[in-house]
Amino acid sequence: MKFFVLIDSPDLKYSPKLTEWHKRIDVRNIRIDKYPKLAEQELFIIKSEEKVIFTDIILFPFLLVTPMVKDVIEMYGDTCFFRKIILLDQVHQKSELYYLPILDETDKIQLALKNYDENGQSSNTKTFTNNSFTINKNIFWVRDSMKKHTVISLDLAESLLRRNVVGLGIQEVVLHN
């Protein structure tokens, strides 16, 4: 099965920017074993900028998805919990509902970005021969020393692309242990 990691897309340049989020959500609690510490619902004021696009996916400061993306994730049946997040632009008097997904997480897998040249040939210099494990999830987090990476399956990526999700940036990855 092919997997992709969520990355910044050009649309995310204009996505809502949350203010004072660090005072309300401890990112260390965005985990399956600690999510009950998170409020069921939060309201965040966003920076009022001239051009704000309420994208379907927001990656910073933590993963946020619209109700449509949440429905697609739930369609695949993986264990996933959600908290409601309302984003409010006070100046333009707009608000949007998002969900904070709480996903399974592992640090036992490493990611290697898969790159292609202009001819469509894989240009990775590393080859991983120890790929004997299978992953039965369509969305999960891989944690390394720097951050959490959101990994999605090809099936989930295709479902999101068919729905013209705004803000979806993906890059193919090779998973290895």
| Residue ranges covered by each domain of the chain | 3-176
Residue-level pLDDT at 110? 87
Residue-level pLDDT at 17? 96
Query: CA geometry: angle at 173 spanning 128 and 81, to 5°?
Result: 125
Angle between helices 154-162 and 67-75 (to 10 degrees): 140
Taking residue 135's Cβ as centre, other Cβ atoms within 10 Å add up to 13
Q: Which residues pair with 46 in a beta bridge?
A: 18
pTM for this structure? 0.89
Residue-level pLDDT at 79? 87
For residue 28, count CB atoms less than 10 angstroms from its CB and return exposed for 0-12, middle for 13-18, buried for 19 or more: exposed
How are beta strands 41-45 and 80-89 bridged, if at all?
parallel
- The pLDDT averaged over each successive group of 10 residues in the chain (177 residues) is 94 93 92 94 93 95 97 94 96 95 92 76 52 76 91 97 96 89
